[in-house]
A and B are shown apart, each in its own frame.
Chain A
Amino acid sequence: MLKISLDKLDKLFEAVSASKALYVPTDREDGGAEYRKYESGMKLSSALNTVRSAKDFFFPQTENLVDFKMDGKSIEVIDVREEAEDFVIFGVRACDARSFTILDKVFLAEPVDSYYKNRREHGTVVTMACTRPAETCFCGTFGIDAASPEGDAACYSDGENLFIEAHNEKGQKFIDSVSSLLEEGDTSKLEETRSKTREILKKLPLADLTTDSFGGDKLNEYFNSDKWGVLSESCLGCGTCTFVCPTCQCYDIKDFNTGHGIKRFRCWDSCMYSDFTKMAHGNPRLTQLERFRQRFMHKLVYFPANNNGEFGCVGCGRCLSKCPISMNIVKVMKALEVK
């Protein structure tokens, strides 16, 4: 496999960023990691994952959909879409890489969302295998191998070198663009690192969590479960879980009057919010119980029902770390599952 010495990583970043925008996970002063556009001197974060998921690149928190100019009784519709520029996201973890295939199933289904597709086509996803998974990780539950991430190209570190391989044409193009920096390397130490990682993955506290009890045919078992009351009783109704989740993709469309015209923008929304389903004449989900249930039923039952059994969760563990009251999908699964 082709490799580059880890201490030459900045050369790789320089080479990539010379021709297109490169985004790498980097540490903030407050301890959290986030993707930032690469600039000289920037260091790759050693954190397992970024606080915000990588979905932002294809489904940003806010984006302008269309503009309107109002003139008396007339309206002018202004298409503000522009072809995206090519970009590379480096260091995406296996969980987030899988989240893109889940988002694809929503946004690339007919009618295709051109905003998402545009960015998806121009983005190259270079993943990074995990070597130090955390206790909150449970990607294995969803059939994801943290040591062999998907993506257009994947990187693996053995502590000294970074090995890189392409998974498709886009990934090959990426490798070709930096081939002068790469050389053939011996992967024996890498294999050791990967098997060590897999051993760790087996020892993680959530390693035994399975989806056996869930799936598209389980609506009646779970929708009317009496567990939802206790599970949702302390839910604050905030959107933290939704917004840090790499697969949550509900959105709102709103208009903003700039004073020079109307901007119609799309922004993330959360089914946990009280006004999500509110209409002029009422709200079908009146209490937090129903909203809470919707989020988890969607990931564990409704999504698989529509997507050949694939679940709407990738086990990244962000909601486990970030929920203000520490209620999360793992606790929900364990409370509901039929042993």
Chain B
Amino acid sequence: MQEAMINKAKQLLADGIVDRVIGWKRGEFVYDITPAIFETAEELEKDFVYDDFTAANVSKYLVKESKKEGKILAFLKPCDTYSFNQLIKEHRVVRENVYIVGIPGGPKLDAEKIKEKGITGILSVKNENYTLKIETVYGEETMPFYEAVLDKCASCKSKKHMIYDELLGEEGDVLDSNRFDMVEKLENMTAQERYDFWREQLSKCIRCNACRNVCPACTCEKCVFDNPDSGIENKAPADSFEENMFHIIRAFHVAGRCTDCGECSRVCPQNIPLHLLNRKFIKDINTFYGEYQAGEDTTSRAPLNEYKQSDCEANIVHERGAE
């Protein structure tokens, strides 16, 4: 696929259809891949990479990139197209300035999951029939491919692209995913157990803002948490409950707009399963307002932005809280 993508990009550059390409750049190791802009065929040939570790969603970069002069080619995985659509809907990107080539998505690998197995000194990782052959400075190791899959890919919601100008590879389907399993598990806990679960998870937060800054739904010019006038601007918790509030408020802010791309959990240095907060909102919206998937289209009105007489009463919150 990497080869086909490089060729496609070179051709679109040569034909003058696009001026720049956003993709991913090879790193020092097999897994440390950085989103990058390419402007020439030479740059593409030298550094462009698309492999099992290329997981970053580049949609958010298009907020800025699509406002620059000229047209940019973006390779979007199915999950990334939901984010891009949502950004169109919110008038955050200039659609005409982006040429989208849909590419097959994951499952992508998580280097941290390999390291968790005690495998270190990693020099190369090869997927041979869904067994990872890992060459390390300590010798060769193997592990099953699926044990190293990113959490966001393990509960993939769709292999289908929601928007593209052109497709590379075969189109997939929307999946019947297991993504609400953990949410249900949390719902079935007692209030105290659930509280303890989140307190433990959120107490790990170092307030680095990686989740917010990577989130394609967090595109405010000035975040409320960075605004001294908001009264809640803080870089660190002034008390032990504050971290919890940061994440809960953020989840509220992206409710109905989060496409469940999973980037928040992928980038969290402390492995906090932040996506579960967002999934709870998605699940509740589905329950109360009818099935809705943010980023599926660019025109429909989101349930939380639209009033219908059939909307559930507000007291539902109170009733559920009492359960």
The dominant DSSP class at the A interface is: loop
Chain B 210-242 per-residue mask, 1 if CB under 8 angstroms from chain A, else 0:
101110000000000010000000111111000
List the B residue with the shortest CB-CB distance to A46: B118
Any A CB within 8 A of the CB of B137: yes
Check A200–B138 contact: CB distance below 8 A. yes
Assuming the A-B contacts A32-B271, A62-B238, A265-B238, are A324 and B210 also in contact, with contact meaning beta carbons closer than 8 angstroms in the complex? Answer: yes
Q: How many residues of B contact A (CB 8 A)?
A: 46
A267 touches B123 (CB 8 A): no
Contact partner, A243, options B35, B208, B212, Cβ 8 Å: B208
Q: How far is the CB of B244 from chain A (nearest CB, A)?
A: 15
Residue of A nearest to B118 (CB): A46
Interface residues of B in 221-268 (CB under 8 A from A): 226, 234-239, 266-267
Q: Which size class do A's interface residues fall under?
A: 35 or more
CA distance A328 to B138 in the complex (A): 25
B contact residues around A233 at 8 Å (CB): 36-37
A30 on interface, CB distance cutoff 8 Å:
yes
When C-beta atoms are compared, the residue in chain B nearest to A255 turns out to be: B238
Q: Check: B290 CB closer than 8 A to any chain A CB.
A: no
| Residues of B contacting A178 in the complex (Cβ-Cβ under 8 angstroms) | none
- For residue A206, give the distance in angstroms from its CB to the closest CB of chain B: 7
Could you tell me the distance between the alpha carbons of A60 and B120 in the complex, rounded to whole angstroms? 29
Flag if A240 contacts B210 (CB, 8 Å): yes
Could you say which of B24-32, B74-82, B179-187 contacts chain A? B24-32
Q: By the criterion CB–CB under 8 Å, are B236 and A275 in contact?
A: no
Chosen A-B contacts, 6 in total, with CB atoms closer than 8 Å, are A135-B122, A204-B121, A233-B36, A236-B214, A238-B213, A268-B236
The complex places the Cα of A52 from the Cα of B204 at a distance, in Å, of: 10
Residue of B nearest to A209 (CB): B28
Q: Give the nearest-CB partner of A202 in chain B.
A: B137
A263 and B61 contacting across the interface, CB-CB below 8 Å: no
Do the beta carbons of A133 and B121 come within 8 Å of each other?
yes
A331:B28 contact, CB within 8 angstroms: yes
The answer, among B37, B116, B208, B238, for a CB contact under 8 Å with A239, is B208
Bound complex: CA A243 to CA B31 (Å): 22
Tell which of B29, B36, B111, B206 touches A205, judged by Cβ atoms closer than 8 Å: B29
Residues of B within 8 A of A203 (CB): 137
Q: Give chain A interface residues in 251-305, CB to chain B under 8 Å.
A: 252, 254, 256, 263, 265, 267-270, 273-275
Min CB distance B192 to A, Å, is 19
Q: Is A69 part of the contact surface with B, judged by Cβ < 8 Å? A: no
CA of A200 to CA of B123, assembled, Å: 13
Cβ of A132 within 8 Å of any chain B Cβ, yes or no, is yes
- 9 A-B pairs with least C-beta separation: A267-B236, A324-B267, A326-B32, A236-B213, A31-B116, A256-B238, A30-B271, A238-B210, A322-B269
Instruction: Say yes or no: A237 contacts B121, CB within 8 Å.
Output: no
Q: Mark A126-157, 1 if CB is under 8 A from B, else 0.
A: 00000011111000000000000000000000
Q: Nearest B residue to A256 by beta-carbon distance?
A: B238
Q: Taking A31-B116, A256-B238, A325-B35 as contacts, is the C-beta distance between A240 and B269 under 8 angstroms?
A: yes
CB under 8 Å from chain B, chain A span 297-339: 320-322, 324-328, 330-331, 334
**Cα–Cα, bound, A312→B220 (Å):** 34
In this assembly, does A51 line the interface, its C-beta being within 8 Å of a C-beta of chain B? yes
Contacts of B121 in A (CB 8 A): 132-135, 200, 204
Asked if A12 CB lies within 8 Å of chain B CBs, one says: no
A52 to B269, CA, bound (A): 9
- B149 on the A face (CB < 8 A): no
